[in-house]
């Protein structure tokens, strides 16, 4: 498996090996031993899938607060996305910094987003299927959303803003400074 650190060293791009033959290819898309060998030694407990019909669908930026914080291993099985992680760990020298990685079914690459990072993606194709493993169960009471277009974060999503399709929840998301205040006062758990 090829592992590449991103500009945020805890966020990794992974490309599992594809064994090609006359029929197509085979790939071990998740192997806990292979991940442990690259320092990702944790147990995932929930698999998610989201389907987005239209290009420009943006899901995020989301995080679950402790004690329900999630690590995520994300990949695309149809289409392509720009996947974004934002470091919001209070003591991090990279607080508020973001990284984007294009994930596609064609490339078969994945992104590892650790606990403490906001996560979101925008679809670059119609009919995009994203699947991802989580290291903690869904806990809506712990879930927080931050605006995709927060000027403090300055994320370049690579799509025209008038094309963005959001959920009602994401339309009403917090600013990153509001999120920081909430986490500081422990208002979410």
Ligand X SMILES: Cc1cn([C@H]2C[C@H](O)[C@@H](COP(=O)(O)OP(=O)(O)O[C@H]3O[C@H](C)C(=O)[C@H](O)[C@H]3O)O2)c(=O)[nH]c1=O
Q: Would you name the residues annotated as active-site residues?
A: 62, 132
Candidate residues 56, 108, 114, 120; the one interacting with ligand X per rule CB under 6 A: 120
Q: Which two tokens stand for residue 94?
A: 């990279």
**Residue 148, interface with ligand X (CB under 6 A)?**
no
* Residue 50 in contact with ligand X, rule: CB under 6 A: yes
CA 175 to chain centre: 18
Contacts of 1 (CB under 8 A, 6+ apart): 14, 15, 16, 17, 31, 34, 38
| Residue selected from 27, 167, 172, 177 as contacting ligand X according to rule CB under 6 A | 167
Please say which residue, 28 or 138, places its beta carbon nearer to ligand X: 138
Strands (E), 114-187: 117-123, 128-134, 143-145
By CB under 6 A, is residue 79 in contact with ligand X? no
Q: Please tell me the distance from the alpha carbon of residue 15 to that of residue 76, in angstroms, as a whole number.
A: 12
Q: How far apart are CA 117 and CA 87, in angstroms?
A: 5
Q: For 146, phi and psi rounded to 5 degrees?
A: -120, 145
Q: Is residue 48 a contact point for ligand X (CB under 6 A)?
A: yes
Residue 30 CB contacts under 8 Å (≥ 6 apart), including other chains: 16, 44, 73, 133
Q: Which is nearer to ligand X, 19 or 79 (CB)?
A: 79
Q: Which of 18, 138, 172, 187 binds ligand X (CB under 6 A)?
A: 138
In this complex, which beta carbon is closest to ligand X, that of residue 19 or of residue 132?
A: 132
Per CB under 6 A, the list member of 10, 35, 60, 124 interacting with ligand X is: 60
- Cβ atoms of residues 5 and 17 within 8 Å: no
75 binds ligand X (CB under 6 A): no
Nearer to ligand X, 19 or 69 (CB): 69
Q: Which stretch binds ligand X (CB under 6 A): 2-10, 25-33, 118-126, 181-189?
A: 118-126
Binding site for ligand X (CB under 6 A): 48, 50, 59-60, 62, 72, 119-121, 138, 167, 169
């Amino acid at each position: 498996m090829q592992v590449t650190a991103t500009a945020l060293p805890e966020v990794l791009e992974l490309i599992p090996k594809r064994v090609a033959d006359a029929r197509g290819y085979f790939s071990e898309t998740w192997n806990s031993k292979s991940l442990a060998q690259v320092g990702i030694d944790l147990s995932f407990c929930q698999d998610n899938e989201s389907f987005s019909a239209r290009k420009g669908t943006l899901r995020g930026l989301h995080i679950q607060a402790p004690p329900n914080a999630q690590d995520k291993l994300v990949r695309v099985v149809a289409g392509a996305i720009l996947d974004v992680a934002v470091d919001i760990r209070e003591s991090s020298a990279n607080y508020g910094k973001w990284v984007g990685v294009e994930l596609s079914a064609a490339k078969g690459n994945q992104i590892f987003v650790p606990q403490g990072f906001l996560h979101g993606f925008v679809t670059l194709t119609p009919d995009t299927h994203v699947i991802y493993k989580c290291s903690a169960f869904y806990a809506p009471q712990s879930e927080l959303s931050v605006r995709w277009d927060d000027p403090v974060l300055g994320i370049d999503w690579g799509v025209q803003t008038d094309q963005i399709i959001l959920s009602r929840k994401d339309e009403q998301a917090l600013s990153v400074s509001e999120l920081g205040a909430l986490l500081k006062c422990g208002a979410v758990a």
